[in-house]
Chains A and B, each alone.
Chain A
């Protein structure tokens, strides 16, 4: 019985692939399971996008709990059609999709089609859009496909997303892309743990730094003393300890339990994709991990970003990008030489990496770059006001020293306005040139000298670091109030940080993508001024591992109601010192990133610590939509709301 259904799944998948007409000649590229060599559940997906003629798609997804060979070991995971990650779905814009979920688990399941616009009942969020798929039951999501691009799908039930239920989803456009590629791969990134995710959550609730094996130690203290002297080191330690926080708090769950996967392959084997030199290759990078931000690069090969969250953007060339959880980015690479290139996806806290190779010949490998130094949080991330002596006795000196001179100093805060726009847009190599005289003179001597001491990086690297990584301007201050006991920090000063490359990428010596560089290819359709602002603060109590909006967890909240057709501005203020990838289901938001009428669409926005970001939204999709932090354990700990979009009368009747 069981075996028959394995065969069925496998055969149907193969038939589906063969049906695209693209399998011929590409068979050698497919993972062995897709060639039918093994029928046991395993990790690894066929990452090549097959394409083919536009057609409606009807697929079955069998959800099972089973033991899989994954991440260099064996563990219990949740498979779809016997695979972790779940198989690649290809849909066609303008056609219909019928996606059937069959639950073979002993618990409820669900699949959310992340980034797709569809009737909310098909959105797959149990408790919001539908009741969920009970054990033994099936659910069909049937909807016309109204968009194209790179998306993904995942369970929205319990913690199933952490243990395998994620997969890539590509929608082919009705009209061809402006930039055609000879070859397309999805690059799906995951973080895998052999632990029960409920145990992970329990551990975080008991000890929130449980997984952090990069805390500051006595050794670091004496290093700092040697570098900056006793007084400033003590002041720095006292300042952080006084706030009861750690500057080394980059990721809640780290490589101490995670193995990072690229298309289901762990770094020891790596994922491999073939190319012919001279070909144009589209990489559809999907961060499908539960908790991990990645820094993605192909050393020696520049990337041209052409899509963000599935939506087309004006091409922008870069060398590296940081991708938040649940975001997708489409990049084009054009490897000319007949050599292999490493795809390096380093976790933001640099406790590990996912790995792949683009190669002209199977088995060829390129050098794997070493993990770089873990980044540290700064007073900017804390939202500390550094201009008005609110530092509790910390001098500008201490602050500069505090972070190896990497990121900020009180003395430099005067520079922000002058340089961020020019420098964040420019390429990193020319960062010095982007700095105007005014900005230079705004730096006082103590800031300069401590940069000179920034051993190893050299003065130039230090400057580039400041330029590319210097924090955006202060755009608002926090109003009185601290959002209650569920929140333990507020961003006193809130910065516009859309021009920043992300934590740890300020001084990497090459170009790094920023949000301000994303420019829509299509002008804004809805030019009405927003009728109102909805301001939400991202809040949390790290000590208790409680996460919330405005200090209220989901269970303390009520829905956010928006009248159908209303144009609103959503303002997100991050009061915490961590990034949060905030995801709205069902509708794209337009990120106000300074691109005029060409604001890029986003379904997930990574909001940097102590920053203030705004998005425009035309609420034209009626429904109950989930709105949440896409860090799995943050969502499950309460950072979740329901957004309702309905005609005004509907709300009046409640």
Chain B
């Protein structure tokens, strides 16, 4: 289609030399002033006709799926287990749909010891902080428990990745959780990551053997290697303490962190 239109450039050059100048003279190569603000409906951002595309796409939708921990846990004094801890988001820079899921279960089969899924709306409310609100459904051990969730996720000074939330169960009890992660670079690809997780309840919930106060804590130390930024196998240790049962377990962990 174009080829038929194409004019041999050299010939065109020679021809152009002989042709009278095109009349650009009126505005000395400048645009007509009336063209700057056209009469038609205008795009408020660009002042251009509304049917034109935007010059840049800064409101584009991006997404991420992050499997922060997908690991095998070799515990002393407890059955060996597997664990997942994943989250993802989709949205623009400010408003995002965010989901989180965690679960843990025995490696020898059987139903997971715990698992849940949170569906959240997330909004960037300050440069480093997302305000998140939504629902959490627990599947194990108590498949009927639902919670309303409100929390903050972000980066506190000192570069601690932080995820805190308050939960209100459908039975009216209130609990809270907090997670902190720090990344210490040993080399450009070898990263040591201390991690702290706390959960607490604001009242006794005898039905689920939950007592008021701290319910559990977990301290972990994972050493990961970024094969690429998206793919990092790791090894580590985890020390878990359940205050309600007054039990503690130490586990060697081995797993994979991945995102896309």
Contacts and interface: CB of A to CB of B under 8 A. Distances in A.
A624 B48 contact: yes
B56 A119 contact: no
A127 B24 contact: no
A550 to B, nearest CB: 14
Contact of B46 (A18, A213, A624, A651): A624
A127 B52 contact: yes
Interface stretch (B100-108, B179-187, B204-212, B239-247): B179-187
Interface string A117-155: 111110001111001100010100011101000000000
Contacts of B36: 120, 622-624, 644-646, 650
Contact of B62 (A55, A205, A555, A621): A205
A454 interface: no
Nearest to B17: A55
Contact of A58 (B13, B30, B44, B186): B13
A126 B53 contact: yes
Contact of A650 (B34, B43, B124, B125): B34
A436 interface: no
A543 B31 contact: no
A127 B124 CA distance: 28
B22 A127 contact: no
Contact of A127 (B10, B53, B126): B53
A244 B35 contact: no
A119 B47 contact: no
A380 to B, nearest CB: 21
A210 B229 contact: yes
Contact of B33 (A62, A144, A646): A646
Contacts of A482: 127
Contacts of B94: 485-486
A148 to B, nearest CB: 14
Contacts of B12: 58
Interface string B91-133: 0011000000000000000000000000000001111100000
Contacts of A127: 43, 46, 48, 52-56
Interface stretch (B143-151, B152-160, B164-172): B152-160
A488 B45 contact: no
Contacts of B29: 117-119, 143-144, 146
Contacts of B59: 553, 555
A243 interface: yes
B44 A558 contact: yes
A544 B55 contact: no
A62 B9 CA distance: 13
A367 to B, nearest CB: 28
Contacts of A125: 55
Contacts of A28: none
A441 interface: no
A225 interface: no
Interface in B177-225: 184-189, 192
B56 A218 contact: no
A306 to B, nearest CB: 25
A238 interface: yes
A640 B55 contact: yes
Contacts of B155: 244, 543
A120 B54 contact: no
Interface stretch (A4-12, A318-326, A353-361): A4-12
B33 A8 contact: no
A640 B56 CA distance: 8
A635 interface: yes
A524 interface: no
B37 A12 contact: no
B230 to A, nearest CB: 8
A19 B10 contact: yes
B188 A215 contact: yes
Contacts of A132: 52-53
B6 interface: yes
Contacts of B54: 127, 554-555
Nearest to A55: B17
A477 interface: no
Contacts of B8: 8, 11-12, 15
A244 B48 contact: no
A544 B124 contact: yes
Contacts of B62: 201-202, 205-206
B22 A59 contact: no
Interface in B48-103: 48-49, 51-59, 62, 64, 93-94
Contacts of A654: 37, 42
A67 to B, nearest CB: 21
B30 A626 contact: no
A531 interface: no
B30 A622 contact: yes
Contacts of A243: 157
Interface in A248-306: none
Nearest to B63: A202
Interface string A619-654: 011111010100000011110101011110011011
Contacts of B124: 485, 544
Contacts of A597: none
B127 to A, nearest CB: 4
B229 A647 contact: no
A623 B55 CA distance: 15
Interface in A192-238: 201-203, 205-207, 210, 213-219, 238
B62 to A, nearest CB: 4
A156 B42 contact: no
A643 to B, nearest CB: 10
A554 B10 contact: no
Nearest to A123: B31
Interface string A526-555: 000000000000000101111000000111
A629 B10 CA distance: 38
Contact of B93 (A120, A546, A644, A650): A546
Contact of A651 (B9, B37, B43, B58): B37
Nearest to A136: B1
A56 interface: yes
B188 A642 contact: no
A5 B31 contact: no
B46 A128 contact: yes
Contacts of B188: 213-215, 217
Interface string B1-19: 1110111111011101100
B75 to A, nearest CB: 29
A488 B22 contact: no
B47 A487 contact: no
Given A485-B127, A543-B155, A555-B58, 17 more contacts: A12-B6, A13-B9, A102-B2, A205-B62, A242-B157, A244-B155, A553-B58, A554-B45, A558-B44, A559-B46, A622-B30, A622-B33, A642-B48, A642-B55, A646-B33, A646-B37, A653-B37
Nearest 5 pairs of A and B residues by beta carbon = A15-B10, A638-B58, A488-B127, A12-B9, A127-B55
5 contacts: A126-B55, A485-B126, A555-B59, A646-B36, A650-B37
Interface of B: 1-3, 5-10, 12-14, 16-17, 21-22, 24, 27-37, 42-49, 51-59, 62, 64, 93-94, 124-128, 155, 157-159, 184-189, 192, 229, 259
Interface of A: 1, 4-5, 8, 11-13, 15-16, 18-19, 55-60, 62, 96, 98, 102, 104, 108, 117-121, 125-128, 131-132, 136, 138, 142-144, 146, 156, 158, 201-203, 205-207, 210, 213-219, 238, 241-244, 482, 485-488, 541, 543-546, 553-555, 557-559, 564, 620-624, 626, 628, 635-638, 640, 642, 644-647, 650-651, 653-654
